[in-house]
Amino acid sequence: MTIWLERTTRNDDKPSSGSLRHDPDVIIDNFTLHRYDETGAIQHTLSARQMRHYPDDDSAELDHPTLRYEGKLAPTHITSERALLTKDGKEAILRDNVRVLREASPGRAEMTLATSLLYVYPEEEIARTDQPVRMTQGKSVATGVGMVADRIKEKYVLESRVKATIERARRP
């Protein structure tokens, strides 16, 4: 054990090859990325104050990211303080002060959602969290822990410790 401890804590003066480093190779300020659907219309836009790409794991870190979904459904905006994009870009992990805003549409009030952590799958338009969530729509408020949201199906499912105050629909 003593030999192992000595070897693992030894600081060799040999230069490192850099293969174990996690340093950005690209830094972009005022980053914007558009994703288009098969018709050429914008499906979603990802922007950030700064994007840093890391070649060792092909990930990217974003400062103050905004993800905006467009299309046939009401536009939806997702913001946070920071985010991590995984290697293949299929998952974005948003952290710190995560906010979702689905704009109002005919017959539907604006919907807001707040949490501290959100896993977003941009291509599938699905998001999930295991953290506390607060949702509001009009005067209705729901809170819970854990959530799965499907933007295409317009379905938001709170998973546990759910409490809600639902505003009754007014009759014409």
pLDDT tens readout for residues 49-97: 999 999 888 899 999 999 998 878 889 999 999 999 988 888 999 999 9
Dist CA 76 CA 36 (whole Å): 16
The whole-model pTM stands at 0.81
**Mind listing the domains of the chain with CATH numbers?**
23-165 (2.60.450.10)
Which residues, including other chains, have CB under 8 Å from residue 96's CB and lie 6 or more apart? 80, 81, 82, 116
Q: What is the pLDDT of residue 8?
A: 45
Assess whether pLDDT exceeds 50 at residue 2: no
Q: What is the pLDDT of residue 3?
A: 46
Q: What string of H, E and C letters represents the secondary structure of 74-105?
A: CCEEEECCEEEECCCCCCEEEEEEEEEEECCE
Q: What are the structure tokens assigned to 155, written together?
A: 């379905």
Which amino acid type is present at position 70? E
